[in-house]
Copies of this chain bind each other. A is one copy, B any other.
């Protein structure tokens, strides 16, 4: 049974949004980074084995960590450098009564290699900052900027932290921009996280992809499956059937 007294959990400027999955609610703040569809797509793309131990790098609102629990993970650790976001995520976890499964850690993922035990996770997921600091306007709100731009964590930092946390044969799944695909694949190959699954995300069937979903396996041989594109909208503008299946539980 979920808690019903919303005012007790919210702080000034915060709101309680409905995740529309498993009746979960999520605390968000207009002046902080808010989760997007990308996070939901990643959560359903990743291979989550029953009772898997999962790490979420840059968990933000905690949405992916909560979706990992909904998909059957037995233990989830969400790492978040912004202490205000980490606090909101922790309170969302508590509100959804998922404290036994999910732990939110307010820490810099660049410190994972020195502070965390290696090889403890079956799966690492990440919806990281997408843009290198040379590209695009940096948001004047520092908290939002660090979630969008590679100011405090580069692609290599994220992939390196994932590799440290994973067991041999463990999986790393990420959502990112198509324009970074060559860099992503190179970084994963260098860390021996062999790309095994790739899926382009498109607004409609004949549009160029706006996102890429990729999953690698630590220590696997080369050879990948490129799946059919994940299409968000049908021609009539309604959600594609596959997207609706995410929200039917």
Contact assessment for A224 and B178 in the assembled complex, using a CB-CB cutoff below 8 Å? yes
A125 to chain B, nearest CB (A): 19
Q: A216-242 CB contact bits vs B (8 Å, 1 = yes)? A: 000000111111110100000000000
Contact status of A224 and B181, CB under 8 A, knowing A205-B206, A206-B205, A229-B206: yes
Given A178-B226, A179-B223, A182-B195, output 19 extra A-B contacts at Cβ < 8 Å: A135-B223, A178-B224, A179-B224, A180-B223, A180-B224, A181-B198, A182-B189, A185-B185, A185-B186, A186-B189, A200-B200, A200-B226, A202-B228, A205-B205, A206-B228, A207-B228, A208-B225, A208-B226, A229-B229
For A235, give the chain B residue with the smallest CB separation: B205
A226 in complex: contacting residue of B188, B195, B206, B209, CB < 8 Å = B209
Contacts of A189 in B (CB 8 A): 182, 186
Q: Which residues from B are CB-within-8-Å of A200? A: 200, 226, 229
Q: A179: which of B180, B186, B212, B225 is its contact (CB, 8 Å)?
A: B225
Chain A positions 156 through 199: 1 when the CB is less than 8 Å from some CB of chain B, otherwise 0: 00000000000000000000001111110110110000110010
A228 CA to B204 CA, complexed, in Å: 10
Task: Give A231's nearest chain B residue, CB to CB.
Answer: B206
Residues of B within 8 A of A194 (CB): 182
Q: How far is the CB of A236 from chain B (nearest CB, A)?
A: 15
> Min CB distance, A2 to chain B, in Å?
37
Q: How far is the CB of A201 from chain B (nearest CB, A)?
A: 10
Q: How far is the CA of A227 from the CA of B224 in the complex (A)?
A: 20
Which chain B positions have C-beta within 8 A of A181? Answer: 185, 195, 198, 224, 226
Taking the closest CB of chain B, its distance from the CB of A177, in whole angstroms, is 9
